[in-house]
Structure 1
Amino acid sequence: PVFRLQNWYQFEQGEQQVRQAEAAFGQASQDLIVRVSQAYFDVLSAQDTLGLARAQKAAISEQLAQAKRNFEVGTATITDTHEAQARFDLIVAQEIAAQNDLENKRRALQALNGKEYAELAPLRADVRLAPPNPNNMQDWVDLAQKQSYPVALQEATTEVARLEAKRSFAAHLPTLDFIATYGKTGQSATVTSPVGSDVTTTQIGLQFALPLYQGGAISSREREAAALHLKAKDDLENARRQAALTAQQTYLSVINGIAQVGALEQALVSSQSALDSNKLGYEVGVRINIDVLNAQQQLFSTRRDLSTARYNAILNQLRLKAAAGSLRDQDLEEVNRALSF
């Protein structure tokens, strides 16, 4: 072909389809990073929950033994023993549930990478969570709308639809082809012509074709391609709005998560002080056993909430980068540096 505009548009479509494949691969890679990180921290969180349940059981067991001793010597009522026993039975049930949850989380991580780990490196206790860089919501929104993989995928899809509309219209246009033919015919000898002859023909030229009317199929395909292009443009706008929304929500989750970690760290100090005060008050007779049990529960609940908040804050930082299309393997290396090997 010398001039077939349809073929040119089809070639350009191929380039855009490569962009589609690259965007889809990039999105899948980022999703895998987030999923593996989520599964990893789910295991750490489950380990923390189980460890805290066991520590709380030991503390309640000690309080139960003390309540029994005090009852035997007449310095406490049977109510203290019953309250401590009820808390002990409850934490035993919670420990069983925590053990089961840990096994499930380990299996989920194993299903992702095909490996079974006896132990995972925990998060360092001295890790300080830094705010996102840049620390501005609109900057992340702009990045998400410009370079996030869902937007890039839809941009390429829209371009493919636009070229398809042009390709459908080009079916009405004339075409110009280079043609060449070569032929050879032979004539056998006869009575009147005792000598045979061979004739060779060669033709080279240009063939011009102008479609006049080819039925309604081409026109129908043209209208369909135009409609699909309009839909693709609407989908692109929706993808950009969704990218902006995801970036906004994730940015706020990161900022609020870091603030929550700070608040829970302070709450942990206060809960420890409250427990120490209640224990002292119980020893001197100004507090009762249930006060100590409640203070213990508050302390361990705060520890669990702090652990969960730290993991969520790190995961949300990864999700924010994924929303902007900038999550890379190097970000996992940064997370690894926060672990205690």
Structure 2
Amino acid sequence: MRLKAVVSARAGVFCLLLATSVCQADDLLGLYDAALKADPQFQGAIFDHAAGAEVVTQAWAGYRPTINFEYDKVDNTQDVISSVNPTFNGLGSTSFPSSSWALTFTQPIFRYANYQRIGQAKEELKQADAQLIQSQQALMLRLSEAYLTALAAEDELGFLRAERSAAEQQLKLAFGREAAAIGRSVDRYDAEARLASVEADYAFAEVSLRDAYEALYEIVGTDPASLATLKGDVELKQPEPADDQYWIKAAMQNNPALVVQRHAVDVARREIALQNGGHFPTLDAVLRKSNQFTESTLAGGGSEVETQEIMLRLSVPIYAGGSVSSKKRESVALYKSAEQDLTRILRESRRQSKDAYWGVVNAVKRVGALNKALSAQEATLSLRRAAYKSRLDTAISVLDAERDLYSVKRDLAQAKYDYLLNSLRLKALVGVLTKDDLGFVNNWLQKS
């Protein structure tokens, strides 16, 4: 049903079904605003960032005082079986309650691991900030790619619809000429075969269009009624500056994925120092106040004792079964692994920036060349049709010319989409992709 709505929207029928005078299509900026609130990946990144912002507070807690209160209430039963102590005056038994409470205040003075954790938490917060920026730019790219893919799928369906109509006209013409004994059966067979081939491609294109709209639904959470389409007259520009080395260096320095991984490397490096803290002693100041109340026992009357203690508590680790050294070796290995990931992303940034830069440059060249090819192919088709009507050419030549024409149109539209996507990817790789860049793409679109 969604596919029928899409096709109807492009034809204008959908507007009539909605009983409106104007059918407003969804443009890229409108869907982006919706995606900011509805995309599960980006919303998850926001919550991840909120969770990451708590690590600094938790780290500082390791150097802040702790206060504990404990209370015990006990029912005691004593049976004296035998005793040489004259205090008991013989054998006997008794039951009595007792209670105690303690209030303990502990202030860490020196804890090396906790000190290292504070610095590590600050790096984790920077990493969380960078990840949120990366997630927002990734959302822009995912949405733009899904949007342009849907437009390409709509274009494909439109080209196939036009090619199917041309094949039907050619088949009708072949039937008429064959009935008038001025045409050949092979022309009719060629037209029938081409029409069947186009029908098969059309069925596949319907599935692709439906899937493209589902990809948009995954991001936005709603079904777009229709999409704003690409304008016919667009001005393509080369990247500024037109220097691939500039973009490569910028990407290898500012790629959001690299920024995130650099912080990850620093976090892993600080983890080594943190685990090494297991070899260091700890020193705490402790203030403890306690009270113990006991009723009469076999040994005599009850008592209530209140105690106040002020102490310095020094704890020196000697041996923990080898766990401290093992955790340190683990953290060293993870640090080296993080460094290798940084090298991998650095090399990927170089390749991706070159690919995006030359993708923009080549798309500009391709669009220029394909515009010329389109004019030539339209002239070729016109000549082929005239030659066929004059019985100077075959139906297959006309059909091939029509197929080639729509192939050029398809390639031309795709080259424009490639230009837009590579322009966005290039800016994302250097960390400067913003909503204004989506606005640049949106200016190329027209609502129908």
Shorter-chain TM-score above 0.5: yes
Note the C-alpha offset of 1:271. Answer: 0.5
Alignment of 1:39 with 2:146, yes or no, is yes
What's the counterpart of residue 100 of structure 1?
Answer: 207
The 1:221–1:91 alpha-carbon spacing in structure 2 relative to 1, beyond 3 Å, is closer
1:38: how far off?
Answer: 1.7
Structure with the higher helix share, 1 or 2? 1
Shift of 1:214: 5.0
The structural deviation recorded for 1:299 is 0.6
Q: Give distance in 2, aligned partners of 1:70 and 1:29.
A: 61
| Alignment CA distance shift 1:116-1:136 (3 Å) | same
Residue of structure 1 equivalent to 2:165:
58
CA drift of 1:181 comes to 4.3
Tell me how far 1:213 sits from its aligned partner: 5.0
Match of 1:192 in 2: none
Rounded to whole Å, the distance in 1 between the matches of 2:369 and 2:421 is 19
1:237 is the counterpart of 2:343: yes
TM-score by length of 1: 0.87
Partners of 1:297 and 1:102 lie apart in 2 by 21
Distance 1:168 1:301, change over 3 A: same
In the aligned structure 2, how far is the partner of 1:214 from the partner of 1:83? 84
Q: Distance in 2 between matches of 1:5 and 1:23?
A: 28
Q: Deviations over 1:149-190 (max 9, x none)?
A: 22122211111111111122233234443343456899xxxx
Whole-angstrom CA distance in 2 between matches of 1:42 and 1:99: 13
Cα offsets for 1:1-43 (capped at 9, x unmatched): 2232221110111112112222332333222222221221122
The match for 2:382 among 276, 290, 296 is 276
The counterpart of 1:13, out of the listed 120, 124, 128, is 120
Higher mean Cα deviation, 73-82 or 301-310?
73-82
Aligned with residue 141 of structure 1, among 248, 259, 262: 248
Q: Could you tell me which amino acid in structure 1 is paired with residue 199 of structure 2?
A: V
Structure 2 CA distance for aligned equivalents of residues 184 and 103 of structure 1: 75
Q: How many residues align?
A: 333
Q: Is the 8 A contact 2:289 2:306 kept in 1?
A: no
Q: 1:177 to 1:116 in 2, by over 3 A?
A: same
Q: Does 1:314 align with 2:420?
A: yes
In structure 2, what is the Cα distance between the partners aligned to 1:197 and 1:92? 97
**Map of 2:403 onto structure 1:** 297
Pairwise mapping of residues 137-176 of structure 1 onto structure 2 (< 5 A)? 137-176=244-283
Range with greater deviation from structure 2 (258-267 or 71-80)? 71-80
Unaligned runs of 5+ in 1: 187-195
Code of the aligned partner of 2:362: N
Name the CA distance, whole Å, in 2 between partners of 1:67 and 1:254.
44
Greater RCO, 1 or 2 (C-alpha within 8 Å, sep 6+): 1
Segments of 5+ residues of structure 2 without an aligned counterpart are 1-107, 294-302
Match of 2:433 among 327, 331, 335: 327
- 2:272, 2:332 within 8 Å by CA — same for their partners in 1? yes
Secondary structure of the residue aligned to 2:279 is coil
1:67 to partner: Cα distance: 2.5
Q: Is the 2:283–2:315 Cα contact (8 Å) retained in structure 1? A: yes
Cα distance per residue 1:48-103 (max 9 Å; x no partner): 11111121122222222222333333332222222222222322332233233222
- Match for residue 189 of structure 1? none
For residues 154 and 256 of structure 1, the distance between their equivalents in structure 2, rounded to whole angstroms, comes to: 31
Asked if 1:257 corresponds to 2:372, the answer is no
Q: Report the Cα offset of residue 202 of structure 1.
A: 6.0
1:128 corresponds in structure 2 to: 235
Cα pair distance change 1:214/1:100, threshold 3 Å: closer
Deviations 1:117-152 (A, max 9, x none): 222110111112222233222222222222222212
Judging changes above 3 Å, is the alpha-carbon distance between structure 1 residues 117 and 226 closer, same or farther for their aligned structure 2 residues? Answer: closer
TM-score, scaled to structure 2: 0.67
Q: 1:287 aligns with which of 389, 393, 418?
A: 393
What is the percentage of aligned positions where both structures have the same residue?
33
Paired AA for residue 157 in structure 1: A
Task: Look up the equivalent residue of 2:395 and give its one-letter code.
Answer: N
The runs of at least 4 aligned residues of structure 1 exceeding 4 Å deviation read 181-186, 196-202, 205-215
* Greater strand share, structure number: 2
Query: Within the alignment, does 1:79 sit opposite 2:186 as a pair?
Result: yes
The residue number in structure 2 matching 1:190 is none
| Offset, 1:209 | 4.9
From the superposition, tell whether residues 199 and 62 of structure 1 become closer, same or farther in structure 2 (CA, over 3 Å): closer
Query: In structure 2, what is the Cα distance between the partners aligned to 1:215 and 1:292?
Result: 84
Residue among 65, 69, 78 paired with 2:176: 69
Deviation at 1:230, TM superposition (A): 2.3
The 3-state SS of whatever aligns with 2:224 is coil
Bigger Rg, structure 1 or 2: 2
- Give the counterpart letter for 1:297 in structure 2: R
Give the 3-state SS of the residue equivalent to 2:109 in structure 1.
coil
